Chains A and B, each alone.
Chain A
Amino acid sequence: MTETLLYLIQQLINGLTIGSTYALIAIGYTMVYGIIGMINFAHGEIYMIGSYVTFIVIAGLLGMGLVSLPIILILALIVAVIIASTYGWTVERVAYRPLRGSNRLIPLISAIGMSIFLQNYVVLAQGSRDVALPPQITGGWTFGDPSVFEVSFSYMQALIWVATFVTMTALTLFISKSRMGRACRACSEDLGMTNLLGIDTNRTIALTFVIGAALAAVAGLLLGLYYGVVNPFVGFIAGLKAFTAAVLGGIGSIPGAVLGGLILGVTEALTSAYFPSEYKDVVSFSLLVLILLFRPSGLLGKPEVEKV
């Protein structure tokens, strides 16, 4: 295998890894948008909080002398999911639900305010500087020719792939098979009608936020371990990227969010591989602009016809 091909494979591996985390966060955006037509600006901050909680639990357990990594990670996951979901639920309850029904601008501004509030809340609570965690999962597989180029596929990356896959499958099963899942789907089709049919739409909407937050927490844990660093501002850029992914795939569509996330991740990896890496964000945002201009319904979405 040639060097270029091996290099390309490496980029694909990296891209799909990051892409799947984008997908996890993007699902939160897409579900909320699908059900109440609103961009949850504060969603990125939920992901950030998930990361922080992960770090706290891991540091705490390691400090207490716990050695078994799987147990630490599972505990971290559980706590992060619980706390992030609580934040997600609270944000909806406090900042969005009372504003439901007013014109689009008002909940959006409330969301922006919430995002700023959460960012600075963490700055005050945990400091604004980077917090670093030594790498927990090291090592991986390599293949290729050491004299040409070695492709590495780390265990951490494999974990991300597996975790994302498992989470997606669980979510898909939940949405398609369970009663609450059906309620979610019904609400995203027609909120008013679902309400009239006696389904508690407030509970369903709250559940949507909670699910989104839980997934963001998983992403927070995975990316926190992957990068080893967190600060109160990681939510902003991650949120924008994830939203790009959601739009790319078709806002309101969960498979779309996954597809969008993967495509975005790979595009970013390829860009930073062959061009100066500062421009990878420019490429992501440009992708967002282009998609909204030429195919606003996204790759998997259906074009909307305006009813006059």
Chain B
Amino acid sequence: MQNNKFYSALFAAGITFVLACLMIGVKLDTEGTTLAIRGATAEQWTWIGLGISLVFLSQLFSNQIDAFFGKLPTPKLSSLLPEEKKMATLKPWLIAALIVGMIIWPFMVSRGSVDLATLTLIYIMLGLGLNIVVGLAGLLDLGFVAFYAVGAYTYALLSMYFGLSFWVCLPLAAGFAALFGFVLGFPVLRLRGDYLAIVTLGFGEIIRILLNNWTNVTGGPSGISGIAKPTLFGLEFTRRAKEEGAQTFHDFMGISYSSSYKVIFLYLIAVLLVIFVIYLINRLMRMPIGRAWEALREDEIACRSLGLNRTAIKLSAFTIGASTAGFAGSFFAARQGFISPESFIFIESAIILAIVVLGGMGSQIGVILAAIVMTILPELAREFSEYRMLMFGLLMVIMMRWRPEGLVPMKRPHLELKQ
């Protein structure tokens, strides 16, 4: 038995060496017009050596390692929460406290933190939107970023060409994104799971390429800049009013200008949007359509035999998810003041998907947590920023092996028959 382990450990170490020897061990360098190779630095070879040893040892002692991890208790988040009945009465208070806290908080911290929080809220919105499509309806959409882009460009263009305000454009952007979702979804939603994934990926890429090349309308690679920021009943949050005859916020309030007001205002809008989306999804889950999504995910054939039109049901999830992305997109454009196709690449779709999957498909709390972790962690670990995407990919693989149901497995609200 020991012999067997030794050989398999040797084999694994050998594989690791083959993988690393050229790809890491040798570096390509362009010297003038010729291509040359350079051996890796001593430090890099040390890392390679370490890696090989690690693989060797972990294979050799794999039984002991498995036993050790087997004894560790799997974290059950549910055990941290108080029991059901107390939760029911506590919940409204908790939510109220949370909302109040979120509104007061930005006035007490630095501008940078508020800005980061706003970015997190955008990803929360996107994650919740994709959660409807992937988590609730079970449709794998790899091109979600396309709807995000539609929302952003809709606001940018409407604001630039027609001078429409942010608040007017918000529902329009959502509607336009929903329309795109309908048009895109209608032909493809009857496809099988993985085919649907690839097709939606293709759509996402098509939209990005079109945005990049339709320079007359979308500004091409340089995008659109100078996008108007949102106003509060017409009050602008700038130092001096940009619009004819408009007043600035600080003039109106009789206080001196501070750039934090703009940042906090944007943050509060984001909070409002997120609360709206959460309310929307909670209602949807308790409505017939939410039940239909769940049923469709469980057994599509049974649904068909009961008279449910699966295409219409899938389409509703797709469209609603798309409109949420439209919301997020138009807010994103308003916040940045500038958009370009660079912000809407496939990786964004993958990140949002990861948020949904890692958070727990279907679970809103899980998605929110995952979005927070995804956005804040890279900020905290600045020195590791170049490893960010690497860790991200690795994390996806690890999570699928370790805990595919996500951080917070979904707990559906069940409809009860009152006897």
Does A touch B (CB under 8 Å) in the complex? Answer: yes
Q: Which residue of A lies closest to B390 (CB)?
A: A120
Q: Which residues of B sit under 8 angstroms from A123, Cβ to Cβ?
A: 389-390
Tally of chain B residues near chain A (CB < 8 A): 57
B36 at interface by CB-CB < 8 Å:
yes
A102 at interface by CB-CB < 8 Å:
yes
Verify A56–B22 contact, CB threshold 8 A.
yes
Q: Which residue of A lies closest to B301 (CB)?
A: A308
Best-surrounded residue of B28, B210, B301 (most CB of chain A within 10 A): B28
Q: Which residues of A sit under 8 angstroms from B353, Cβ to Cβ?
A: 109, 112
Verify A38–B19 contact, CB threshold 8 A.
no
Verify A52–B23 contact, CB threshold 8 A.
yes
CB distance from B37 to the nearest CB of A (A): 5
Further pairs besides A59-B37, A114-B397: 6, Cβ < 8 Å? A113-B393, A116-B390, A117-B397, A282-B210, A288-B198, A293-B188
Q: Which residues of A sit under 8 angstroms from B395, Cβ to Cβ?
A: 113
B303 at interface by CB-CB < 8 Å:
no
Query: Complex Cα distance A120/B397, Å?
Result: 14
Of B169-177, B189-197, B255-263, B372-380, the stretch lying at the interface with chain A is B189-197
Query: Complex Cα distance A63/B387, Å?
Result: 31
Verify B35–A282 contact, CB threshold 8 A.
no
Q: Would you call the interface of chain A mostly helix, strand, loop, or mixed?
A: helix
Given contacts A39-B194, A279-B209, contact A293 B35 (CB under 8 A): no
A75 at interface by CB-CB < 8 Å:
no
Query: Complex Cα distance A286/B207, Å?
Result: 11
Given contacts A83-B18, A87-B19, A112-B353, contact A132 B198 (CB under 8 A): no
A171 at interface by CB-CB < 8 Å:
no
Verify B206–A113 contact, CB threshold 8 A.
no
Query: Complex Cα distance A115/B347, Å?
Result: 11
Verify A278–B209 contact, CB threshold 8 A.
yes
B274 at interface by CB-CB < 8 Å:
no
A67 at interface by CB-CB < 8 Å:
no
Tally of chain A residues near chain B (CB < 8 A): 70
Verify B392–A285 contact, CB threshold 8 A.
no
User: Residues of A at under 8 Å CB distance from B?
Assistant: 38-39, 49, 52-53, 55-60, 62-63, 79, 82-83, 86-87, 89-90, 94-95, 98-99, 102, 104-110, 112-127, 131-134, 236, 240, 243-244, 247, 276, 278-279, 281-282, 285-286, 288-289, 292-293, 296, 308
Q: Which of B15, B22, B188, B400 is within 8 Å of A53, CB to CB? A: B22
User: Residues of B at under 8 Å CB distance from A?
Assistant: 15, 18-19, 22-24, 26-28, 30, 33-37, 138, 140, 142, 187-188, 191-195, 197-199, 201-203, 205-206, 209-210, 212-213, 301, 346-347, 350, 353-354, 357, 386-387, 389-390, 392-397, 400-401, 404
Q: Which of B24, B386, B393 is within 8 Å of A114, CB to CB? A: B393
Query: Complex Cα distance A49/B24, Å?
Result: 11
Verify B36–A112 contact, CB threshold 8 A.
no
Query: Complex Cα distance A276/B214, Å?
Result: 12
Q: Which residues of B sit under 8 angstroms from A115, Cβ to Cβ?
A: 393
Q: Which of B138, B197, B400 is within 8 Å of A110, CB to CB? A: B400
Q: Which of B35, B188, B198 is within 8 Å of A243, CB to CB? A: B198
Verify B35–A133 contact, CB threshold 8 A.
yes
Q: Which residue of A lies closest to B40 (CB)?
A: A125
Verify A82–B390 contact, CB threshold 8 A.
no
Verify A240–B392 contact, CB threshold 8 A.
no
Q: Which 5 A-B pairs have the closest CB atoms?
A: A113-B396, A117-B393, A116-B393, A285-B202, A120-B390
CB distance from A98 to the nearest CB of B (A): 5
Verify B389–A120 contact, CB threshold 8 A.
yes
Q: Which residues of A sit under 8 angstroms from B33, Cβ to Cβ?
A: 134
Q: List 27 A-B contacts (CB under 8 A).
A: A53-B22, A55-B35, A57-B22, A62-B34, A99-B400, A108-B140, A109-B354, A109-B357, A109-B396, A113-B400, A117-B397, A121-B23, A121-B390, A123-B390, A124-B390, A126-B23, A127-B27, A134-B34, A240-B201, A240-B205, A278-B209, A278-B212, A278-B213, A282-B210, A288-B198, A292-B195, A308-B301
Given contacts A124-B390, A278-B213, A281-B205, contact A98 B27 (CB under 8 A): no
Q: Which residue of A lies closest to B194 (CB)?
A: A39
Q: Which residue of B lies closest to A64 (CB)?
A: B37
Query: Complex Cα distance A52/B35, Å?
Result: 12
Verify A79–B22 contact, CB threshold 8 A.
yes
